[in-house]
């Protein structure tokens, strides 16, 4: 008994164990008589500090600690899509089915269904030379996604035998000449990036279906974007909206430390949603990871890496993955709490000094890559992280550290949120560093003059900002007619184009083709009005234009007949402003 590792100290979610000589960093252990899952995060001689991923209430000095000799890993294989997991990949439906509303401590359930059989169709044959990433065969995981069974990284050889038929994820589907058996299941350390053949640059956007994002501040496929905003500005709603409508093959949504009612809404809504691209259920290409604010803080820290490991697995299949992290602030708070338990020297606002490097390492796992073993194929992970700065202060450490790494910045604004303007993106402070890299794609797929259209819209909005400052001093009525017309045109672009409904059946999602048509309509109107005013059209004529309401409602027009409606609007505008001015 004296040689058995045991607890020698307890401090919240971290415990100290003695007689641990021979253990290694990030080794998974089982703590106490209830065998709570934990991970070694510090070693000092024969003492080990362990962060426990479950509630530590009830543990006491002298309780046993059991080493497993394994790293904290995820199981990867058919059955992930459509799944709902906690931060350490325990399937929540299975936990609920077995324990109900109150999950037992130390609960262990299979991460993937080990009984279900999947039909495996080989694409390789005996005698083929294979390496990590080589596709052995396929499984129809969902009607939307064909799951590729790949050779695990760091494994290579010649196929001695390969089978066809129905198998569980634990049964071998192929055997190499050295005796290595390959199943449809892989295990991977969540903190280690999966290898790739080559990192590529940004030249393709990941369309979100949100006009203000895709038009003014696009995020690249394989890029990273952050959404900082104070309480009530709509971070979670925007992340959920992007998750519903993003042009990605697979969506991974991580609820990291969010309120239980918000995550509950996600769990209830997503299974009812339809994919706007296929019409199939959205869950057929979605994985949900739920780790709410009342769950153990250590599991919150692990949930981000769990989601990323799953994303990299589907990226290696040559798929486009969008990973939503809501929110990285709660993840950083988990780091801060664990760091304080370890009595580490605190950095700014109590966060650990390695906060910036941890955030950078996480965002750097995003990107476009040539697939390992198949350099002709490309997979991508796009990361979108929400940030909850206290009081909406963007100078706080998490926001600043994220801005140094992320390529796109979508700043949420209190004033816009209180005006019920969704998305409440502040177009004055937001930016996209990759927009110039994407100009060629938009020119080829949206409009040849797309860049000029965006610059024109930006100029109108910028002019409004300048005039608004003047109006605060002299009053709107004291301004000239030309300036008031410019402010009216900017209002129409803000209200009619940048504003979008998250619930309207037509307006919630806006395709790139639709965005191009709508933006062209608003800019045509602005040019026509500006020309008429220059030729003497009075302000009252502009403000009383009868087609303004129809113009503002154009974003809600059904797709069928949109072209005809917009053409009718253009003709009405020309007729109205053509009376001696246009």
Q: What is the dihedral of CA 570, 576, 579, 581, to 10 degrees?
A: -70
What is the CA angle 284-272-220, rounded to 5?
Answer: 55
Q: Which residue has the tokens 């509303």?
A: 101
User: Within its chain, how far is the Cα of 556 from the centroid?
Assistant: 27
In the chain, what percentage of residues exceed pLDDT 70? 99
As a whole number of angstroms, the distance between CA 226 and CA 431 comes to 11
Write the DSSP string, 565-578.
HHHHHHHHHHHHHT
| Average pLDDT, integer, range 435-440 | 95
Q: Are 322 and 384 in contact (CB under 8 A)?
A: yes
Separation CA 76–CA 79 (nearest Å): 9
Q: Residue 94's pLDDT is what?
A: 87
Helix locations, 446-511, DSSP H: 450-474, 481-493
* Res. 103: pLDDT tops 80: no
Q: How many residues does the chain have?
A: 582
Q: Does residue 504 carry a pLDDT above 70?
A: yes
Sign of the dihedral through C-alpha 447, 453, 458, 461: negative
Tell whether the model's pLDDT for residue 106 goes beyond 90: no
117-176 pLDDT, tens digit per residue, is 999 999 999 999 999 999 999 999 999 899 999 999 989 999 999 999 999 999 999 999
Would you tell me how many other CB atoms lie within 10 Å of the CB of residue 66?
Answer: 14
Token code pair at residue 358: 């941890």
* Residue range 2-27: mean pLDDT, rounded: 91
Q: Is 444 exposed, middle or buried (0-12, 13-18, 19+ CB in 10 A)?
A: exposed
In this predicted structure, the answer to whether residue 293 has a pLDDT above a threshold of 90 is no
Mean pLDDT of 482-490: 92
pLDDT digits (tens, 9 = 90+) for 220-232: 999 999 999 988 8
- Which residues on neighbouring strands pair with residue 409, listed in sequence order? 226, 431
Q: What kind and span of H or E run contains 401? A: helix 397-403
Rounded Cα distance between 364 and 224, Å, is 9
d(CA 407, CA 432): 6
- The domain 450-577: what is its CATH number? 1.10.1140.10
Q: Is 391 exposed, middle or buried (0-12, 13-18, 19+ CB in 10 A)?
A: exposed
Measured distance CA(110)–CA(90) in Å, rounded = 7
Q: Would the pTM of this model clear 0.75, i.e. be above it? A: yes
Question: Do 298 and 55 form a contact (C-beta atoms < 8 A)?
Answer: no
- Mean residue pLDDT of the chain comes to 91
| 241-263 pLDDT, tens digit each | 999 899 999 999 998 887 777 77
Q: Give the pLDDT band of residue 2 (cuts 50, 70, 90).
A: low
Q: What is the pLDDT of residue 3?
A: 81
CATH class belonging to 198-257+278-328+335-432: alpha beta
Range with the lowest mean pLDDT among 86-90, 123-127, 307-311, 452-456?
A: 86-90
Strands (E), 347-424: 367-371, 374-387, 408-409
Residue 190 · residue 73 · CB < 8 Å: yes
- Token readout for 546 is 């009868």
> Does the pLDDT value for residue 97 go beyond 90?
no
pLDDT digits (tens, 9 = 90+) for 376-428: 999 999 999 999 998 888 999 999 999 999 999 999 999 999 988 999 999 99
Q: What separation in angstroms does the CA of 573 have from each of 486, 519, 528, 559?
A: 17, 15, 8, 21
Query: How many whole angstroms separate alpha carbon 469 and alpha carbon 486?
Result: 14
Q: Where are the domains of the chain?
A: 6-71, 112-185, 198-257+278-328+335-432, 450-577
Task: Give the mean model confidence (pLDDT) for residues 470-492.
Answer: 87
Q: Rounded CA gap, 331 and 31, in Å?
A: 23
More confident residue, 474 or 70: 70
238 near 299, Cβ under 8 Å? no
DSSP state, 355? H
Q: Mutual orientation of helices 481-493 and 450-474 as an angle, nearest 10°?
A: 130
What band does 55 get if pLDDT is binned at 50, 70 and 90? confident
Judged against a pLDDT cut of 80, whether residue 537 lies above it is answered with yes
Fold designation for 112-185: OB fold (Dihydrolipoamide Acetyltransferase, E2P) (2.40.50)
Q: Is there a contact between 352 and 344 (Cβ–Cβ < 8 Å)?
A: yes
Average pLDDT over residues 524-550: 90
Q: What is the pLDDT, as a whole number, of residue 534?
A: 87
Q: Is the pLDDT of residue 1 over 60?
A: no
Select from 129, 130, 165, 124 the least CA-distant residue to 151: 130
Q: Is the pLDDT of residue 461 over 70?
A: yes
CATH architecture of 6-71: Beta Barrel (2.40)
Percent of the chain with pLDDT over 90: 71
Q: Which of 34, 24, 459, 22 has its CA nearest to residue 7?
A: 34
What is the three-state SS of 91-124?
Answer: EHHHHHHHHCCCCCCCCCCCCCCCCCCEEEEECC
What whole-number distance in Å separates Cα of residue 239 and Cα of residue 229? 12
User: Where residue 274 falls among pLDDT bands split at 50, 70, 90?
Assistant: confident
> pLDDT at position 326, please?
86
The position carrying tokens 């796992």 is: 365
């Amino acid at each position: 008994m004296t040689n058995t590792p045991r607890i020698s100290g307890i401090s919240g979610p971290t415990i100290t164990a003695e007689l641990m000589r021979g253990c290694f960093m990030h080794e998974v252990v089982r703590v106490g008589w209830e065998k709570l899952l934990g991970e070694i995060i510090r070693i000092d001689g024969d003492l080990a500090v362990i962060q426990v991923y479950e509630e530590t209430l009830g543990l006491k000095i002298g309780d046993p600690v059991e080493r497993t000799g394994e790293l904290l890993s995820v199981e990867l294989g058919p059955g992930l899509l459509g799944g709902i997991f906690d931060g350490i990949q325990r399937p929540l439906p299975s936990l609920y089915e077995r324990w109900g509303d109150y999950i037992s401590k130390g609960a262990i359930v299979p991460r993937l269904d080990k009984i279900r059989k999947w039909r495996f169709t080989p694409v390789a044959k005996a005698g083929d030379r294979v390496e990590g990433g080589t596709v052995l065969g396929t499984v129809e995981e969902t009607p939307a996604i064909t799951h590729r069974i790949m050779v695990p990284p760091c494994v290579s050889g010649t196929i001695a035998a390969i089978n066809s038929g129905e198998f569980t994820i634990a049964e071998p589907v192929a055997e190499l000449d050295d005796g290595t058996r390959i199943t449809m299941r892989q295990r991977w350390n969540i903190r280690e990036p999966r290898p790739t053949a080559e990192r590529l640059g940004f030249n393709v956007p990941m369309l979100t279906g949100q006009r203000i994002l895709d038009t003014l501040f696009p995020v690249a496929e394989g890029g990273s974007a952050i959404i900082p905003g104070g309480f009530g500005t709509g971070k979670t709603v925007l992340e959920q909206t992007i998750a519903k409508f993003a042009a990605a093959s697979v969506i991974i949504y991580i609820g990291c430390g969010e309120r239980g009612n918000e995550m509950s809404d996600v769990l209830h809504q997503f299974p009812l949603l339809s994919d706007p691209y296929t019409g199939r259920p959205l869950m057929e290409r979605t994985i949900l990871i739920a780790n709410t604010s009342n769950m153990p803080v250590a599991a919150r820290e692990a949930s981000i890496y769990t989601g990323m490991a799953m994303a990299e697995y589907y990226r290696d299949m040559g798929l486009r993955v969008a990973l939503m992290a809501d929110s990285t602030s709660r993840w950083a708070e988990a780091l801060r709490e664990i760091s304080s338990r370890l009595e580490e020297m605190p950095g700014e606002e109590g966060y650990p000094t390695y906060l910036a490097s941890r955030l950078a390492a996480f965002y750097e796992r995003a990107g476009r890559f040539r697939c390992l073993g198949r350099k002709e194929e490309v997979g991508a992970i796009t990361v979108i992280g929400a940030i909850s700065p206290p009081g909406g202060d963007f100078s706080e450490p998490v926001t600043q550290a994220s801005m140094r790494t992320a390529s796109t910045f979508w700043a949420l604004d209190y004033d816009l949120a209180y005006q019920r303007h969704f998305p409440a993106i502040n177009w004055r402070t937001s930016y996209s560093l990759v927009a110039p890299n994407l100009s060629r794609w938009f020119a080829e797929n949206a409009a040849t003059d797309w860049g000029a259209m965006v610059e024109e819209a930006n100029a109108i909005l910028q002019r409004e900002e300048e005039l608004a400052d003047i109006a605060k001093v002299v009053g709107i009525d004291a301004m000239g007619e030309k300036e008031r017309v410019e402010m009216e045109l900017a209002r129409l672009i803000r209200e009619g184009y940048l504003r979008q409904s998250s619930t309207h059946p037509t307006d919630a999602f806006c395709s790139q083709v639709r965005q191009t048509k709508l933006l062209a309509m608003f800019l045509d109107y602005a040019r026509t009005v500006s020309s008429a005013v220059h030729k003497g059209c009075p302000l009252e004529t502009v403000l009383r234009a009868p087609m303004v309401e129809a113009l503002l409602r154009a974003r809600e027009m059904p797709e069928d007949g949109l072209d005809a409606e917009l053409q009718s609007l253009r003709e009405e505008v020309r007729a109205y402003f053509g009376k001696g001015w246009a």
